[in-house]
Amino acid sequence: MDIVLRNEFIEKVKQISKENLVFIDESGIEDNACREYGWSIKGTRCYCNKAYQHKSRVS
């Protein structure tokens, strides 16, 4: 990112009161997620153990 644009953004944000700022984090993880890709010895099937019940989501 251009350092000039970053500094302009910082100056604009400084003008906003702290009470009007909201921070949103879109990251999360599911504890029953299974990889869509894997590896195995050539000519053999690749298996994945996957839970078939809904579990909690951490975000």
Question: For the whole model, what pTM was predicted?
Answer: 0.38
Partnered with residue 58 across adjacent β-strands are 29
* DSSP helix, strand, coil percent of the chain (3-state; round to 5): 25, 5, 70
Query: What is the rounded CA–CA span in Å between residue 49 and residue 44?
Result: 16
Give the pLDDT score at 3: 94
User: DSSP class of residue 20?
Assistant: G
In this predicted model, what pLDDT tens digit does every residue of 7-52 receive, in sequence order? 999 999 999 999 998 887 767 666 666 667 788 999 998 887 766 5
Distance CA 52, CA 9 (A): 46
Domain residue ranges in the chain: 1-59
